[in-house]
Structure 1
Amino acid sequence: MKTAHRAALLALPLALLGFTAPAQAAEAGPTPSAQLTCRGQGVDPDAKIRYRTERLIKAPMSTIYRLQTDVERWPTWQKPVTGVKRLDHGPLRSGSQFRWTTPAPATPTTPETTLEITSTVHQIQRNQCIRWNGPAIGEGLRIDNGVHVWNFRQVRDGVLVRTEETWTGEQVEADVPTATRYLGGGLETWLDELKATAEARPC
């Protein structure tokens, strides 16, 4: 692998996700063949980097959905997110855009930088699903397109939250297993923080 690609990939986990990927994420089971969808649209079927996971959250659907769609408040409960700016107004809807940032700490071969992610919502259905996509760009680091789908389903003991994401881009595809492990670590952390925050809220 070229040095520049390796350096960018090593910066990726903290840059994009804020945490080192947990070891168990690398050992997660295979992604189910039937991808998650929102209004009939799913993740990139041709992407080499993909990860899917889920959590049962014992909190009201309204609480979980509000936390997930009130994107400007993500920094209050997601440690890796340092800032979010809506690029439109009103409730999150199809066509909504938001720009969010997270720090990328320095490595032996790359300076400290900020990763900027611009997400566009393409499909959304209240209390059921959301699908957005967009690039993530930092100094010496780029994910050309990340496609992210969330599903929410009321079950007997709470709400089952499922998520699936794919990445494409030359830098991350230079080492697919490592990129997949870090993507998985980020999604596991996101769901852990969503679950902890939602279950701590009064009903």
Structure 2
Amino acid sequence: MSRVRSTGVRAALFTVPLVVAGVLGTAAAPAGATPHPAKSLTCRGQGVDPTALVRSKAETVIHAPLSTIWKLQTDVQSWPSWQPHVETVERLDHGPFRKGSVFRWTTPIPPNPATPATSLEITSTVKQLKRDSCVRWTGPAIGEGLRIDGVHVWNFTKVKGGVLVRTEETHTGDQVEADVPTATKILADGLEAWLNDLKAAAEARAGHRPR
């Protein structure tokens, strides 16, 4: 069974990735942070925040049809059924998931040096989308004593035996930028958890048995 590989700088404040993502910047990283990768994920030419200090990337191969993976990822109202850390999701528009779609969702976050334990409310807007290929969304995440502005990009590529799913996310905000290494580590853990949950759900639907 392929394992999620996570890369990026070290820092962000919650364990589930914000729904939001592209071109990595060249701003100097703070002490203890990993230099930004040279190339970033994009969707229709747009990527993550190039100035963000808090950023992470992750990828995995999912042994399931692309149509199954895409359906799970874009049917946002079903997220709580396969993502344990997503409490609620509400579509704020109607019809197919597309550019301009907006959804509001909530996820708990643990206590950390900057903020107490709280529930994060995230309002995400799809900015770019190419069916069965990529999606990019942005939006604020707000909790008690905490605001994060996020950008999140997803890429889906058919490979032998399955689909390579890659994701990249950036966060900005006073609280996360106060401790970039911690914030990035939490963001990285969240991206890995999301990919692992997506992989498990898609492969279960496809009848794939983990090796």
TM-score of the two chains, using structure 1 as the length reference = 0.82
Residue pairs, 1:1-203, within 5 angstroms: 12-14=13-15, 16=16, 32-104=37-109, 113-143=118-148, 145-202=149-206
Identity of aligned residues (%): 66
Counterpart contact for 1:31–1:51, Cα < 8 Å = no
SS state at 2:206 partner: coil
- Asked whether the equivalents of residues 81 and 100 of structure 1 are also in contact (C-alpha less than 8 Å), the reply is yes
Distance 1:58 1:49 in 2: 30
Per-residue deviation, residues 9-65 of structure 1 (Å, max 9, x unmatched):
xx9335x56xxxxxxxxxxx8763110000000001111011011000000000000
The alpha-carbon distance between structure 1 residues 190 and 31, as it changes in their structure 2 partners (threshold 3 A), is farther
Kindly provide the CA deviation profile for residues 142-170 of structure 1, in whole angstroms up to 9, marking residues without a partner as x.
11x10000000001121000000000011
Name stretches of at least 5 consecutive residues in structure 2 with no aligned partner: 1-11, 18-33
Taking the aligned partners of 2:49 and 2:115, their CA distance within structure 1 comes to: 29
- The Cα shift of 1:79 comes to 0.5
Report the residue type matching 1:132 in the other structure. W
Contact 1:142 1:169 in 2 (8 A): yes
Deviation at 1:113, TM superposition (A): 3.3
Instruction: Verify the 8 A CA contact 2:13 2:112 in the aligned structure 1.
Output: no
Provide the rounded CA distance (Å) in 2 between the counterparts of 1:61 and 1:193: 16
* Post-superposition offset of 1:111: 5.9
**Conserved? CA contact 1:54–1:163, under 8 Å:** yes
Aligned to 1:7: none
**Given that residues 53 and 171 in structure 2 are in contact (C-alpha distance below 8 angstroms), is that contact kept between their aligned partners in structure 1?**
yes
Decide whether the 8 Å contact of 2:62 with 2:203 is kept in 1: yes
- Distance verdict in 2 for CA 1:40–1:56, change over 3 Å: same
Between the two proteins, the alignment pairs up a number of residues equal to 181
What letter corresponds to residue 188 of structure 2 in structure 1? G
Q: Which amino acid aligns with 1:50?
A: R
3-state SS in 2 of match to 1:13: coil
In 1, are the aligned partners of 2:65 and 2:206 still within 8 Å (CA)?
no
State how far apart, in whole Å, the 2-side matches of 1:92 and 1:30 are.
35
Asked if the contact 1:31–1:52 (Cα under 8 Å) also holds between the matched residues in 2, the reply is no
Q: CA RMSD in A?
A: 2.3
**3-state secondary structure, aligned to 1:102:** strand
